[in-house]
Structure 1
Amino acid sequence: MTVIGVLKKIVFYIALVAIWELVYKLGVDVFSIWKSYTFPSPFQVAKSLYNLVKDNTLFVAILASMGRLLLGYLLSVVIGLSLGLFIVRFKYIGDNIKALILGLQTLPSICWVPFAILWYGISEQSIIFVIAMGSIFSISIATEGAISNVYPLYIKAAKTMGAKGLKLYINVIIPAALPGIVAGMKQGWSFAWRALMAGEMISSSKGLGYVLMVGRDVGDISQVVAVMVVIIALGLLLDKVVFGRIETNIRQKWGLKTEI
């Protein structure tokens, strides 16, 4: 990204903060539509963020949450990809189980929390279970869709050259479906974040979800918003650094446009 592009982004976010402050001033000080403790100003959020950094609460929470998130997400990727390949490979089973997987995907992550507590107790394993269950099905659905939509000519050409079975999948089908699979993994990552918050807010003593819950319990809305800002920032950073680079490399390798 060019220097001008970076400056444009900075100006855009400064404008958003300015609008936020204006809305706060109008709603609280001018028209008294709501109380200050129900809708914080940017300065109150910044102060809460500073306090969380100062007493090291934020860094401990980020490390705890990221450890759980990465472990749960990696588990969901392995299971989700395997499940997606399975329902593609065995058409009869796939045709009957796809609707079930789609239905399970529509379940909110919070629905898995009672199972996690009953099976694993209030522990790290229960949170990781919720994370995995929150993203497994979206990855498997995306994998199935990406493989099913591979251009048939690629498969026919590979078969005429003797490729079949596992060799056909490894050398032709999976590489051709890779852009769609990566898109599904990216979507699964966002679902994993949501599941992490659901798990940590119920069965954790540390982590971003726990800090969010503490802010809610003590009525500190500025702390709640501060944690939300941190979650958004981490999500954007990881998306740019990890998934953004992977998608760019894949699109360049396949000769696709990287910008529209």
Structure 2
Amino acid sequence: MPADTLEKDELDTLSAGLDRLQSDDVTRRSPVREVLAKVLPPIILLAALLAVWQLYVVVANPRPDRAPSPAQVLGALGDAWASGRLQEAIATSLERGVIGFLIAIIVGTPLGLLLAEVRPLRRAAGPLISGLQVLPSVAWVPAAIIWFGLSDATVYFVILMGAIPSIVNGLLSGIDQVPPQLRRVGTVLGATRWQLATQVALPASLPGYVAGLKQGWAFSWRSLMAAEIIATGGSIGFGLGSMLDQSRELADLAAVLGTIILILGIGILIELVIFGPLERRMLRGRGLILGGAR
């Protein structure tokens, strides 16, 4: 076989192999299989944990007020649903959490861009932002009650103080990883400083920004629960934190555990339904994962 023909065959084989590596079809699964692959593992783990819990109750036979069974916890949630308290608590907490988180995004995003573009301001305010992120949000509750009284403003203030530092630091971390060549290209093309920040740095920093948003939501949800548990009465509505504290006062451990599981479940659901798909879509658009991966 001639050398040039052999070389051409090798190049064709190499090209086909590279195309195959880059093809999404290699790892693409049917929608049903993809959903099952994501849903089944958590369901199996949950079923295993419930089985271990029920087995402990059957074998150890503890006092029901100290270790209620899964059926008792489910019954407590059923009673709260029948009375309408559960629906009210979920709606109130979700409304507060979503509105507070959106406000945190509106405030935190331009603040992060400002700190990224103005270096002296970042050197001055950066340690403060990091310190606020470390500070437990529950520490703001007493001060917020004094400032705003027992009102929804107290809850929203605590949410903002918990979420904004995480969003700002996530955006700053993402912008720090943007290649400087992108800014130089934008400058050569005549972009203003504002255009460089919003049309070059912000889109390029999306991985870090989305990570900051995820952490910001986690802090929002935790801050909200802390505020609802401590700040009760007045004009503050009935949320999941209030329901948890009310169950504690009644020494109803089944209702306490049911509310905790519900708070945990809502947090996991938000992650699976909103942030998980958003992160996968972003990474897929940048070619960092294949179509059926993760």
TM-score by length of structure 1 reads 0.91
* Comparing 145-154 and 52-61, the one that deviates more: 145-154
Q: Residues 202-235 of structure 1, C-alpha deviation per residue, up to 9 Å, x if partnerless?
A: 2235110000001111111111111111112211
Correspondence for 1:19: 52
* Comparing 242-251 and 226-235, the one that deviates more: 242-251
The offset of 1:162, in angstroms, is 3.1
1:215 to 247, 263, 285: 247
Matches within 5 A, 1:58-137: 58-137=86-165
Q: 2: distance between equivalents of 1:176 and 1:65?
A: 33
2:223 to 192, 195, 209: 195
- 8 A Cα contact 2:117 2:197, kept in partner: no
Q: 2: distance between equivalents of 1:21 and 1:140?
A: 44
Matches within 5 A, 1:1-20: 2=33, 4-5=36-37, 6-20=39-53
State the SS of the aligned residue for 1:162: coil
TM-score by length of structure 2 reads 0.81
Correspondence for 1:171: 199
Q: 2: distance between equivalents of 1:25 and 1:151?
A: 60
Q: 2: distance between equivalents of 1:70 and 1:7?
A: 28
Correspondence for 1:39: 67
The offset of 1:10, in angstroms, is 2.8
1:231 to 250, 254, 263: 263
The offset of 1:36, in angstroms, is 3.1
* Comparing 81-90 and 191-200, the one that deviates more: 81-90
Matched, 1:151 2:179: yes
The offset of 1:102, in angstroms, is 1.0
Q: Residues 184-214 of structure 1, C-alpha deviation per residue, up to 9 Å, x if partnerless?
A: 0111001001111111112235110000001
- 8 A Cα contact 2:113 2:197, kept in partner: no
State the SS of the aligned residue for 1:36: coil
Say how many residue pairs are matched. Answer: 255
Q: Residues 86-137 of structure 1, C-alpha deviation per residue, up to 9 Å, x if partnerless?
A: 2111101211211111112111111111121111110011111111111111
Q: 2: distance between equivalents of 1:147 and 1:157?
A: 16
State the SS of the aligned residue for 1:223: helix
The offset of 1:167, in angstroms, is 1.6
The offset of 1:163, in angstroms, is 2.9
Among all aligned residue pairs of Structure 1 and Structure 2, give the percentage whose two residues are the same amino acid: 36
Correspondence for 2:272: 240
Correspondence for 1:257: 289
Taking a change above 3 Å as real, the CA distance of residues 188 and 8 of structure 1, as seen in their structure-2 partners, is closer
Q: 2: distance between equivalents of 1:4 and 1:130?
A: 38
Aligned CA RMSD, in angstroms, stands at 1.8
The offset of 1:8, in angstroms, is 4.4
Structure 2 spans left out of the alignment, 5+ residues: 1-31
Matched, 1:53 2:81: yes
Structure with higher Rg: it is: 2
Which consecutive aligned stretches of 4+ in structure 1 deviate over 6 angstroms post-superposition? Answer: none
The offset of 1:7, in angstroms, is 4.0
Q: 2: distance between equivalents of 1:107 and 1:243?
A: 24
- 8 A Cα contact 2:132 2:161, kept in partner: no
